[in-house]
Amino acid sequence: MKRKQLTAILCVIILIIAAVTVVSATNIIGGKKTDENGKPDTGENDTPNESDTPNENDTPNESDTPDESNKPDTNNTPDENDKPDTNENDTSDGSGKPNDGGSGYKSFSLTSGMSAAQAYEYLDSFLSSKYSILINKQHKVGSDYAPDNLTVPAGCDYQMEQTAAKALTNMLAAARADGYSDLILYSGYRTYASQKNKFETRTQRYLNEGYSQAQAEEKAGEYIAPPGSSEHHTGLAADVCSSKIVSKFGYLDDSFDSTDEYKWLKEHCAEYGFIMRYRKDAEDITGFLYEPWHYRYIGVDHAKACTELSLTYEEYYEMLEKMRDEAKAEAGL
């Protein structure tokens, strides 16, 4: 019995020691948890943890997204400056070949998987096509320029080049399907003669107001493309606006950009191959005042790429030319 009692006592002591150990251990661990968590900590920790994690994720994501969109910007910068080219080569090559062309086409979404020869062919094909033509006050076409395959888009009153016309028809049909039936084509192809007539009429208005010929032409040029500098001459441009706006003002007005129809166009035009040509923040680059209604057909792939890069067509076109030349040199063509 004594042994049994001793054994029992020993067992009790062992149990007590074990229990104390567990309790103290629990207190230490639990204490820390409680300190950090407490009851609210559980939630707070979760919340900060969750928010920390997403924050951490968001930051890189956010910086990734601009980075990706900046990449092509980097292409522009190097194209313009050459300095970033060296940087790009340093980063990508690390082989001390700073002047081997920059390989800008490799970081451009449309040519990223291509060899230099393929990229050259692809870019040159687009730049040689009628759909890529760059027209502005510095790049005019002559009075003898005439687009072929003009047609009137279904349900519209103006001519456009047939591929652009089909794209416009599809775009307006999609807008209608989404509930925006108010969008109408207000101008398409314009002849050189009609451009000249419009320009001279506007110039005369300023002459009548007392401006000199040069001043009057410059002022007219802010609103009316001088003959040969209008994209409408190509049949690839469309003035698309809400009939509500045109009814209200009697003309195409900037306030179109406050309508839901405009928001739809801005969001979807690239899916049909169009870009908004004359942005508010790029008047010094395009040479034309803001026109939220003027859309230019360049094809779906390039319209999407140009839009994603937030470039004017002047910048985009120059970037493609530089990349084509880089790819050509790199391919030894």
Footprint on this chain of Zn ion (rule: CB under 5 A): 239, 294
Tell me which H or E stretch contains 218.
helix 213-223
Nearest-approach distance from CB 229 to Zn ion, in angstroms: 12
**Distance from C-alpha of 106 to C-alpha of 329, rounded to nearest angstrom:** 14
Query: What DSSP state is assigned to residue 226?
Result: P
Nearest-approach distance from CB 261 to Zn ion, in angstroms: 16
Q: Is 291 helix (H, G, I), strand (E, B) or coil?
A: strand
Which is nearer to Zn ion, 105 or 158 (by Cβ)? 158
Question: Residue 134 to residues 127, 230, 273, 282, 295: CA-CA distances in angstroms?
Answer: 9, 10, 15, 16, 14
Nearest-approach distance from CB 301 to Zn ion, in angstroms: 23
CB 290 within 8 A of CB 279: yes
Query: What DSSP state is assigned to residue 276?
Result: E
Question: Residue 65 to residues 51, 57, 70, 102: CA-CA distances in angstroms?
Answer: 20, 12, 8, 22
Which is nearer to Zn ion, 22 or 289 (by Cβ)? 289
Contacts of 274 (CB under 8 A, 6+ apart): 167, 168, 171, 238, 295, 296, 297, 298, 303
Which is nearer to Zn ion, 120 or 293 (by Cβ)? 293
Which is nearer to Zn ion, 294 or 328 (by Cβ)? 294
Which is nearer to Zn ion, 72 or 153 (by Cβ)? 153
Which is nearer to Zn ion, 110 or 237 (by Cβ)? 237
Residue with the shortest CB distance to Zn ion: 294
Nearest-approach distance from CB 296 to Zn ion, in angstroms: 9
**Distance from C-alpha of 281 to C-alpha of 8, rounded to nearest angstrom:** 89
Nearest-approach distance from CB 313 to Zn ion, in angstroms: 13
Nearest-approach distance from CB 316 to Zn ion, in angstroms: 18
